[in-house]
Amino acid sequence: MPDRLDGRRIPEATVARLPLYYRALNETAERDIETVSSEQLADLAGVNAAKVRKDLSYLGSYGTRGVGYAVEFLLAVISRELGLTQDWPVVIVGIGNLGQALANYGGFGARGFQVSALVDADPAKHGEKVGGLAVDPIESLADLVAMRGIRIGVIATPAAAAQDVTDQLVDAGISSILNFAPAIVSVPEGVSLRKVDLATELQILSYYQAERKSRRRVGKFTPDVQLQATTAKTS
């Protein structure tokens, strides 16, 4: 393994694509393919080749001209860069519809993440087993986080509770949060926050759907490619 080339700032857009390359490379490795060109990788990841090369160049110069990239090696480089060489324990807050689906979800743990605690405010849920793990009261959040070394929290509570839950997670020592509730929450400096918002996604689709239907007549072309851009903070 090469040393991580520090002092290099990896652009956010690149960081967001590394997981795609990572997945594509894993699939390639499973097919016992040893090298990939930027073009092949681009196809698998759904981007263009120039972008792949530029992105990978931020990690260092690990390709071989005339040949391509060594799959296993590149996987190791990206794993390291993404921090996937260790396992990240995760706590899920709010074990309702969505929380249960997440807790039962196998692919969650598949790549370096492990559901290590489930908490809910509803006493009726306490002790219930979901995906082999018992649901604990929200009051024990801090203890669970501390004892199990959890750094990442997933919020699957109703929107109204999201900010409160966020504060509790932060107080408990969590520094990365993935929020599924349709609410804007704020976090103190040093905490990363990302969100997944179903309604927003559907509404964006609706916009382009409506555009195709009713705005066609104005003779304006529709864009070939859209970039989804929701905000996340490390404040």
Partner DNA sequence: CCGCGCTAGTGCACTTGTTCACAAAGTATT
Partner DNA sequence: AATACTTTGTGAACAAGTGCACTAGCGCGG
**Closer Cβ to its own copies, 26 or 35, answer by number:** 26
Q: What is the DSSP string of 74-88?
A: HHHHHHHHHTTTS-E
Q: Is 67 in the site for DNA (CB under 7 A)?
A: yes
Task: Give the one entry of ligand NAD, its own copies, DNA, none that residue 46 binds, where binding means its C-beta sits below a cut-off of 5 to 8 angstroms depending on kind.
Answer: its own copies
Cα gap 161→198, rounded to integer Å: 17
**Closer Cβ to ligand NAD, 11 or 158, answer by number:** 158
Task: Give the one entry of ligand NAD, its own copies, DNA, none that residue 122 binds, where binding means its C-beta sits below a cut-off of 5 to 8 angstroms depending on kind.
Answer: ligand NAD
For residue 51, the minimal CB distance to DNA (Å) is 5
**Closer Cβ to its own copies, 127 or 158, answer by number:** 158
Q: Is 5 in the site for DNA (CB under 7 A)?
A: no
Pull the structure tokens for residue 63. 């390709």
Question: Is residue 64 helix, strand or coil?
Answer: strand
Residues in contact with ligand NAD, counted by CB under 6 A, come to a total of 27
Number of residues that make up the chain: 235
Contact assessment for residue 58 and residue 8, using Cβ atoms and an 8 Å cutoff: yes
For residue 43, the minimal CB distance to its own copies (Å) is 9
Window 22-51: residues binding DNA (CB under 7 A): 36-39, 47-51
Q: Cα-flanking dihedrals φ and ψ of residue 2, to 5°? A: -75, 155
Interface pick for ligand NAD out of 97, 214, 228, 231 (rule CB under 6 A): 97
Q: Which residue has the tokens 């706590």?
A: 91
Contact assessment for residue 147 and residue 129, using Cβ atoms and an 8 Å cutoff: no
Pull the structure tokens for residue 190. 């040093």
| Beta strand spans in 31-73 (E) | 35-36, 63-64, 68-70
Task: Give the one entry of DNA, its own copies, ligand NAD, none that residue 38 binds, where binding means its C-beta sits below a cut-off of 5 to 8 angstroms depending on kind.
Answer: DNA
Task: Give the one entry of ligand NAD, its own copies, DNA, none that residue 228 binds, where binding means its C-beta sits below a cut-off of 5 to 8 angstroms depending on kind.
Answer: its own copies
Instruction: List C-alpha distances in Å: 168 to 158, 195, 216.
Output: 15, 17, 49
Rounded to an integer, what is the distance from CA 170 to the centroid of its chain? 19
- Residues of this chain that interact with ligand NAD (CB under 6 A) are 93-99, 101-102, 105, 107, 120-122, 125, 138, 156-159, 161, 164-165, 180-182, 198
Binding site for DNA (CB under 7 A): 11-14, 36-39, 47-51, 53-54, 56-57, 61-69, 225, 227, 229
